[in-house]
C-alpha cells in the first residue's frame, strides 16, 4: 500500500472520529441560529484581524481591543458556541498530535545528523 493510500485512510478515520462528529454536531447547532452564527463569524473575523496585525507588527487600537473583549464575553455566554469552540479545539489537538507523529522520522533524521 502506498503512503498516499494510508494518508487517505487516516483522513477517513479522522472524518469518522468522535472529535469530528462532535464538531459537526456543534456546527449544525450553530447553523440553526443565525444570531449565533453571526456572533461566531464576527469573532473569527476579529481573530484573523488580530493575527494579521501581529504578523505585521501593528498594535490594536483601544477600541479594537475592547470590541474583541466584548466578543469573547458574548461568546462565553452562549453554550452552543462554547461547545463548538471546545470541539474544534479537541479536533485541532488530535490533528496536531498526528502531525507531530508524522514528523518524527524527519526529527530523528536531524537528530542523527547532529550527533555525527
| Structural domain containing residue 25 | 17-115
Domain assignment of residue 38, yes or no:
yes
Residues in the chain: 116
Q: Give me the percent of the chain exceeding a pLDDT of 70.
A: 99
| pLDDT band, residue 116 (cuts 50/70/90) | confident
Q: What is the number of structural domains in the chain?
A: 1
Q: How far apart are alpha carbons 71 and 47 in whole angstroms?
A: 10
What element of type H or E holds 28?
Answer: helix 18-31
CB-side neighbour CA atoms (13 Å) of 100: 6
Segment 60-100, tens digit of pLDDT: 889 988 999 999 999 999 999 999 999 999 999 999 999 99
pTM listed for this prediction? 0.82
Domain assignment of residue 57, yes or no:
yes
Domain assignment of residue 8, yes or no:
no
Amino acid at each position: 500500500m502506498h503512503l498516499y493510500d494510508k494518508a487517505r485512510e487516516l483522513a477517513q478515520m479522522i472524518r469518522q472520529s468522535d472529535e469530528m462528529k462532535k464538531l459537526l454536531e456543534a456546527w449544525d447547532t450553530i447553523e440553526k441560529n443565525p444570531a449565533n452564527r453571526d456572533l461566531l463569524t464576527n469573532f473569527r473575523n476579529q481573530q484573523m484581524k488580530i493575527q494579521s496585525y501581529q504578523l505585521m507588527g501593528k498594535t490594536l487600537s483601544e477600541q479594537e481591543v475592547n470590541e474583541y473583549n466584548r466578543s469573547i464575553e458574548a461568546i462565553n455566554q452562549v453554550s452552543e458556541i462554547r461547545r463548538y469552540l471546545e470541539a474544534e479545539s479537541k479536533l485541532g489537538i488530535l490533528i496536531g498530535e498526528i502531525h507531530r507523529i508524522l514528523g518524527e522520522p524527519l526529527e530523528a533524521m536531524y537528530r542523527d545528523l547532529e550527533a555525527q
